[in-house]
Amino acid sequence: MLSDVTTPQDLDDRFRETLAALPAPAQRRDLADPVTDDAPLTGAQLLDLFDAQVTSRQLDLAGRWLRSFGEGFYTIGSSGHEGNAAVAAALRPTDPALLHYRSGAFYCVRAAQVAADAPTPPAADAPTPPADAPTSPAADAPDPDSEPEPAGSEAPVGGFVPYAEAARDVLRGMVASSEEPIAGGRHKVFGRADLAVVPTTSTIASHLPRAVGMGLAVERLRRLDTAGRRTGTGVRVGSGAGAAHVPWPPDAIVVCSFGDASVNHASATAAFNTAGWYDHAGLRIPVLFVCEDNGLGISVRSPEGWVEATLRAKPGIRYFSADGADPAGTYAVTQEAAAWVRRYRRPAVLHLRTIRLMGHAGADAESAYRSPAELAEDLDRDPVAATARLLVDAGVATAEELLARYDETGWQVRRLAEEVLGEPKLASAADVVSALAPRRPVRVARAVADAAARASGPGAAAREEAFGGKPPELSGPMTLAQSINAALADGLLDHPQMAVFGEDVAVKGGVYGVTKGLRDRFGAARVFDTLLDETSVLGLGLGAGLAGMLPVPEIQYLAYLHNAEDQLRGEAATMQFFSRGAFRNPMVVRVAGLAYQQGFGGHFHNDNSVAVLRDVPGLVIAVPARPDDAAPMLRTCLASAAVDGSVCVFLEPIALYHTRDLYADGDGEWLAGYPEPGSWVAGHVPIGRARVYRIGSADDLTIITFGNGVRMSLRAAAALAEEGVGTRVVDLRWLAPLPVADIIRESSATGRVLVVDETRRSGGVGEGVIAALVDAGYVGAARRVAGVDSFVPLGPAARHVLVSPEAITDGARTLLAR
Ligand SMILES: Cc1ncc(C[n+]2csc(CCOP(=O)(O)OP(=O)(O)O)c2C)c(N)n1
């Protein structure tokens, strides 16, 4: 009996009723024949898709069953979206896919395709294939027009068996088993490296900017692969330690699916716009967007016609549409769309009409916002029943046979569910965090040493040439900006897959000249201007990193990172966590920021808040204050990204970019020579190690600071030294992870700690420093000077809210008086 809420029972009952009512086929059709005269699928192929769809459906039912007795933790299902089985079938299993959370059937088909393509040892009596026998698309250069046969096209019809592995993966995700193949129990995601399925987060649409970045990178690396060096299904670009392994074949296209409500999200509109913008500019972005349109975003309807109207109107993105309840049609349209994207390397969107059965998720009472008539109508449009109808109409199978397959699959899925619910879960916090980006300082140091050896050995001539015959170590004392510029150049020389990009970084050379000349030296393919959208700048980095590049995107001002911070927090920082390191997006994000720009800008050019970054698990935050720290710290970040896949934020204090003096005008004490490669090893700066300046006896006071605070504190310490006060000034250099050991050692040495924190009092860095001292049992005196909890005003009024030299001296005197 159909209630006013679609329940698993309703769905199951209705499916059985629908099949039972189907008339017996007039005559049987050979499985090898097209399912209808003009269909692109044979009976066997369609039957295979049916089995994938049924597996997905039974997984949804099993998810609710597991939930009913507290063993399942995820009930967002794919019911109504099983048309995406035909989408998967029309793609190559080597096309990287970032999937919507309703992709059960897609995932089943992809896993079966890969298993079918896996080399099996030939039988002893198997004939040797002729030299020109077709091989899998990944194994040789495919004809861009030829799309693959769907899974099982030549194999005997397999029922549930080809999908058992995928079903186990999904069930393991539902029960949070630590044996789940991608997230290891950290989340229920669709993902597996060998299936080229990249896990996506629950943040709708946040994977779209990454997909565009992947498209750009796949295309760029394909062009770089001039020597045609290939390994397996991927491509190796460059040589030596800087070589990148590109995990996808050169003619791969990126597939990215999402729901209809998601098309309205800022991240989605950014991605469509960026794909279109590049297309308009003549650059190639081979991405197939797939919008699975069930008409609803939880309870909110997409206005009739809106999704089509908005998708059709995206400049530079070609529109295709299909009905998910028509597997043959969906297959044909996807084939056409994929062939177009593959051949022309241009973006397209497939608008796939679907329905949503059993509500948004297990707990969703649809009756609150949908009428019984509407729910019943959706049940009539069940795509799995539609596939069954087509099979029976065509004489491929009888309804009884299909029901028998449905029941057998249901039984097998429950059996697997029972098996996996007993598997271990993540057992400790250490287990959970083991999947965060690893930190291997010895290997990072070795990578820096290797880079030094290359720069002074085999790479010396190229280096000399790139620097126009005058390497930076011969250029005399440098500013912070010049030092970063030289270190970027050295990075580009050493990492062939490194790219520097962002708003204004290339032709202009950066708003502050930090990237000046890099484009001329390294070319527009490696140093390029992007469009003005921070979400897309980071999205390009996310995709490029995943594709094997070493991206160094720039965010022009710290205040504008907040436009796009989810791309760092939700996407970049979680990738290794949700994939146990199977996928990684190494990245060094340069951000110009912090305050004290004399006479320029108000808050947005002087933003002094990093709170949003400090608590992102695994994220590295570097703040170089001085030129002689900036170059080694940047080298460390690049090495850590390459070695450990780290996501690093390299926060550059704008006010110090061009500073030359420290104590007195003209003293040049804030300049430093650039180290020649022979001294890179000795000057290596590990992540999480502070720098300590000892002034006078260094016994009376410890100032802990970073960024602009270093210069102000050194000046204050010099003044105190004239009064006989000995100070040690600790430049944290790394805000995450904080140099806790250095903080505690240097604080304990004097017993008086002044934290000079140019970020805000609330949520500022100082909170972390004080907490580290308390955690360690520090018992001395401590004070904090920090920015006022305010935005930074324009002009001289900024002085009222920023940490001033006077405040530092006052704070020091108060401490010394105790
Ligand atoms: C950025 C963001 N906001 C809100 C949510 C909560 N949420 C989860 S799914 C969803 C609706 C998505 O609808 P649609 O894109 O149409 O996909 P569907 O679930 O219908 O397949 C919402 C609002 C989220 N996951 N991410």
At 139-166, the pLDDT tens digits run 333 444 555 554 444 444 579 999 999 9
Above pLDDT 90, what percent of the chain?
86
Instruction: Match 């795509």 to its residue by tokens.
Output: 383
pLDDT confidence of residue 223: 79
Q: Any idea which residues carry the catalytic annotation?
A: 534, 605
pLDDT confidence of residue 147: 58
What is the rounded CA–CA span in Å between residue 674 and residue 695?
Answer: 24
Query: What b/e readout covers 563-588, taking b as 16+ CB neighbours within 10 angstroms?
Result: bbbbbbbbbbbbbbbbbbbbbbbbbb
List the residue whose alpha carbon is closest to atom 15 of ligand 1. 259
Q: With a cut of 50, say whether residue 438 has pLDDT above it.
A: yes
Q: With a cut of 90, say whether residue 245 has pLDDT above it.
A: no
Q: With a cut of 80, say whether residue 232 has pLDDT above it.
A: no
**CA–centroid distance, residue 301 to ligand 1 (Å):** 12
User: pLDDT for 263-274, tens place per residue?
Assistant: 999 999 999 999
**CA–centroid distance, residue 81 to ligand 1 (Å):** 15
What is the rounded CA–CA span in Å between residue 500 and residue 588?
Answer: 10
User: pLDDT for 12-23, tens place per residue?
Assistant: 999 999 999 999
The residue whose CB lies within 8 Å of the most ligand 1 atoms, and thus the one to mutate among 74, 260, 294, 298, is 298
List the residue whose alpha carbon is closest to atom 8 of ligand 1. 204
**CA–centroid distance, residue 189 to ligand 1 (Å):** 15
The residue whose CB lies within 8 Å of the most ligand 1 atoms, and thus the one to mutate among 204, 262, 294, is 204
**CA–centroid distance, residue 337 to ligand 1 (Å):** 26
4: pLDDT confidence band, cut at 50, 70 and 90?
A: low
User: If DSSP states are collapsed to H, E and C, what string results for 567-606?
Assistant: HHHHHHCCHHHHHCCCCCCCEEEEEEECCCCCCCCCHHHC
331 C-beta neighbours (distance < 10 Å), count:
26
pLDDT confidence of residue 227: 35
Range 25-44 average pLDDT: 93
Decide: 96 and 252 in contact? Cβ < 8 Å.
yes
User: pLDDT for 535-587, tens place per residue?
Assistant: 999 999 999 999 999 999 999 999 999 999 999 999 999 999 999 999 999 99
What is the rounded CA–CA span in Å between residue 761 and residue 771?
Answer: 13
pLDDT confidence of residue 120: 61
User: pLDDT for 186-219, tens place per residue?
Assistant: 999 999 999 999 999 999 999 999 999 999 999 9
Instruction: Match 């796009």 to its residue by tokens.
Output: 564
Range 395-417 average pLDDT: 97
What is the rounded CA–CA span in Å between residue 82 and residue 518?
Answer: 49
Lowest mean pLDDT, pick from 117-121, 150-154, 720-724, 769-773: 150-154
Length of the chain: 818
Q: With a cut of 60, say whether residue 128 has pLDDT above it.
A: no
What is the rounded CA–CA span in Å between residue 23 and residue 14?
Answer: 16
pLDDT confidence of residue 2: 44
Decide: 550 and 638 in contact? Cβ < 8 Å.
yes
**CA–centroid distance, residue 262 to ligand 1 (Å):** 6
Range 363-390 average pLDDT: 93
**CA–centroid distance, residue 260 to ligand 1 (Å):** 9
125: pLDDT confidence band, cut at 50, 70 and 90?
A: very low
* Residues near 233 by beta carbon (within 8 Å), at least 6 away in sequence: 94, 138, 139, 247, 248, 249
List the residue whose alpha carbon is closest to atom 11 of ligand 1. 297
**Which atom of ligand 1 is the closest one to the Cα of 203?**
26
List the residue whose alpha carbon is closest to atom 19 of ligand 1. 297
- Pairwise pLDDT comparison (134 vs 737), residue with the higher score: 737
Helix (H, G, I), strand (E, B) or coil at 691: strand
Instruction: Match 């049916």 to its residue by tokens.
Output: 50
**CA–centroid distance, residue 479 to ligand 1 (Å):** 48
State the average pLDDT for the chain: 92
**Which atom of ligand 1 is the closest one to the Cα of 294?**
20
**CA–centroid distance, residue 550 to ligand 1 (Å):** 31
List the residue whose alpha carbon is closest to atom 13 of ligand 1. 297
**CA–centroid distance, residue 191 to ligand 1 (Å):** 19
**Which atom of ligand 1 is the closest one to the Cα of 265?**
1
9: pLDDT confidence band, cut at 50, 70 and 90?
A: confident
**CA–centroid distance, residue 258 to ligand 1 (Å):** 9
* Residues near 246 by beta carbon (within 8 Å), at least 6 away in sequence: 218, 221, 225, 234, 235, 236, 237, 547, 548
Range 297-303 average pLDDT: 97
808 C-beta neighbours (distance < 10 Å), count:
23
List the residue whose alpha carbon is closest to atom 18 of ligand 1. 259
5: pLDDT confidence band, cut at 50, 70 and 90?
A: low
Range 614-623 average pLDDT: 97
List the residue whose alpha carbon is closest to atom 25 of ligand 1. 203
* Residue 349 DSSP code: E
Range 175-187 average pLDDT: 97
Range ranked top by mean pLDDT from 139-148, 228-237, 384-393: 384-393
Q: With a cut of 50, say whether residue 242 has pLDDT above it.
A: no
Range 160-173 average pLDDT: 97
List the residue whose alpha carbon is closest to atom 20 of ligand 1. 297
Decide: 25 and 395 in contact? Cβ < 8 Å.
yes
**Which atom of ligand 1 is the closest one to the Cα of 262?**
15
**Which atom of ligand 1 is the closest one to the Cα of 297?**
13
**Which atom of ligand 1 is the closest one to the Cα of 101?**
21
Above pLDDT 70, what percent of the chain?
92
Pocket of ligand 1 from Cβ distances under 6 Å: 102, 202-204, 258-262, 294, 296-298, 356, 360
Amino acid making up residue 493? L
Burial environment of residue 31 by CB neighbours within 10 A (0 to 12, 13 to 18, 19 or more):
middle
Lowest mean pLDDT, pick from 3-12, 87-96, 136-145: 136-145
pTM: 0.93
Range 309-323 average pLDDT: 98
**CA–centroid distance, residue 203 to ligand 1 (Å):** 7
Concatenate the DSSP letters of all residues of 163-216 into one string.
Answer: GHHHHHHHHHHHTT-TT-TTTTTS-----BGGGTEE---SSTTTTHHHHHHHHH
List the residue whose alpha carbon is closest to atom 21 of ligand 1. 259
Lowest mean pLDDT, pick from 32-36, 597-601, 731-735: 597-601
Range 361-373 average pLDDT: 90
502: pLDDT confidence band, cut at 50, 70 and 90?
A: very high
Decide: 347 and 289 in contact? Cβ < 8 Å.
yes
**CA–centroid distance, residue 295 to ligand 1 (Å):** 12
Instruction: Match 């947005």 to its residue by tokens.
Output: 604
**Which atom of ligand 1 is the closest one to the Cα of 293?**
16
* CA angle (326 as vertex; 365, 258 as ends), nearest 5: 50
What is the rounded CA–CA span in Å between residue 272 and residue 278?
Answer: 10
Burial environment of residue 650 by CB neighbours within 10 A (0 to 12, 13 to 18, 19 or more):
buried
User: pLDDT for 68-78, tens place per residue?
Assistant: 999 999 999 99
